[in-house]
Amino acid sequence: MFSERINRLQGSLVREILAVANQPDMISFAGGLPAPEAMPKLDFTGLPDNLSQYGPSEGEKWLREAVAAEMSKNGVKVGAEDILILTGSQQGLDLSAKLFVDEGTPVMVEAPTFLAAVQCYSLYGARFVEVPLTATGVDLDELERKVKSERPRFAYLIPTFQNPSGVCYDEAARQRVADLFDEYNVTLLEDEPYRELVYDQCDRAPICARLKKASWIHFGTFSKTAIPGLRVAYLACSPDLMPHLYKLKQAADLHTNRQGQWAMHKLLTSSDYPAHIARLRQFYHGKRDIMAAALDKHFHDIADWVKPPGGLFFWLKLKANIDSYDLLQPALDRKVAFMPGKPFYAVPRVSNELRLNFSHASPEKIEEGVKTLAEVIRAHL
């Protein structure tokens, strides 16, 4: 006999798609995998022996200092004591769920939002309060209405190159969200995995830096810019939350692997790292433009989209009102994988949207896959 939460342990749709998508002959627009050829080289030379022992639950001091310095540069004035090193930012979702979510707790999310956040908060029994997105960020009038009427315990937002929509909140939206959360005492959980993957000018100043009263957690990761396999990420938070998050981290896995923290710190502080980030942006910028051109060519009459100013995804809305989930099997039969819109909504609905990743496939495969996918859709219409 299992716990009640196992009834809420969500299904295998995404995992199944990703499993199929990893077949070697498949063109995959499904996952969010960084391109292996764009990853920096790991170097464990000089790894100190004293990191073999158990380490501190909060993470290594030198890595926390480096993260705090970087966040301060981005406008979030924090010290090492405000940083908690995580075993991947997925762990941040889990710790925040433990901190905040009981069965029935109102949790505000964007619609659409990151599917792993939906899965994680669902597991703990969250009741989702959705706020739709516009081209310039979350719908502010709707946000205010829902904040007042639903009193969410926290809001989970992805303001910079939102996953899956690609939206980047403009400055007015960022300030208004901060003001509302201060006024109504809503805790902000700000997830920014893609903030360094910027291709066009836009406001990327974290919302948490604008808060005056509300509590907040800011999640960051090195998985999109460096080495996902190391499982090293971090959070920064307001001082009231750290004592609890620290204990929850300790209860979850004692601490994050120290060798990974060391190798990541070595990468981050290497003289080449700024140039690596610049190269990475240029590389993904090129791939985004290749997918944009392919979409212009093959999708102009069957879907609408906005070219994302950063991140790893295009978010397409079909002109026809069909369930994009029904396109999945026909597309897989033609060896193209994508993510249908459905699992990105916290409150289940039919969606005529598709998320297409452009970081992983080669330029030739992007063109070929987009063409094939358009054929599949036209055949279905």
Q: Angle between the 363-380 and 273-299 helix axes, to the nearest 10 degrees?
A: 30
Nearer to a copy of itself, 183 or 375 (CB): 183
User: How does DSSP assign 115-161, residue by residue?
Assistant: HHHHHHHHHTT-EEEEEEEETTEE-HHHHHHHHHHH--SEEEE--SS
228 contacts a copy of itself (rule: CB under 8 A): yes
Examine residue 52 and tell whether it contacts a copy of itself (CB under 8 A). yes
- In order of 59, 143, 283, 345, the CA distances from 277 in angstroms are 24, 34, 10, 31
Asked if 102 interacts with a copy of itself (CB under 8 A), we say: yes
Q: Does 13 bind a copy of itself (CB under 8 A)?
A: no
Pick from 17, 29, 55, 85 the residue near a copy of itself by CB under 8 A: 55
Residues 231-250 that bind a copy of itself (CB under 8 A): 231-232, 244, 247-248, 250
- Residues 116-135, interacting with a copy of itself (CB under 8 A): 116, 119-120, 123-124
CB of 348 to a copy of itself, least distance (A): 18
Q: Which of 24, 25, 41, 201 binds a copy of itself (CB under 8 A)?
A: 41
Binding mask 208-227 toward a copy of itself (x if CB under 8 A, else -) reads ---------------x---x
Q: Is 87 in the site for a copy of itself (CB under 8 A)?
A: yes
Q: How far is CA 312 from CA 204, 261, 290, 356, 380, in A?
A: 16, 25, 13, 8, 27
Candidates 93-101, 166-174, 188-196, 309-317 — which segment interacts with a copy of itself by CB under 8 A?
A: 93-101
Question: Contacting a copy of itself (CB under 8 A), which of 17, 99, 138, 155?
Answer: 99
Stretch that binds a copy of itself, among 75-83, 99-107, 169-177, 367-375 (CB under 8 A): 99-107
Q: Edge-to-edge, what's the strand order for the sheet holding 313-318? A: 303-304, 313-318, 353-357, 339-340
**From the CB of 347, what's the least distance to a copy of itself, in Å?**
19
By CB under 8 A, is residue 17 in contact with a copy of itself? no
Distance (Å, rounded) from C-alpha 53 to C-alpha 299? 55
Full DSSP string of 6-44:
GGGS--SHHHHHHHHHTSTT-EE-SS-PPPGGGSPPP--
Q: Which of 21, 30, 33, 71 binds a copy of itself (CB under 8 A)?
A: 33
Q: Which residues bind a copy of itself (CB under 8 A)?
A: 1-6, 9-10, 12, 15, 31, 33-34, 36, 39, 41-42, 44, 47, 49-55, 87-88, 90-91, 93-94, 98-102, 105, 116, 119-120, 123-124, 153, 223, 227-232, 244, 247-248, 250-260, 263
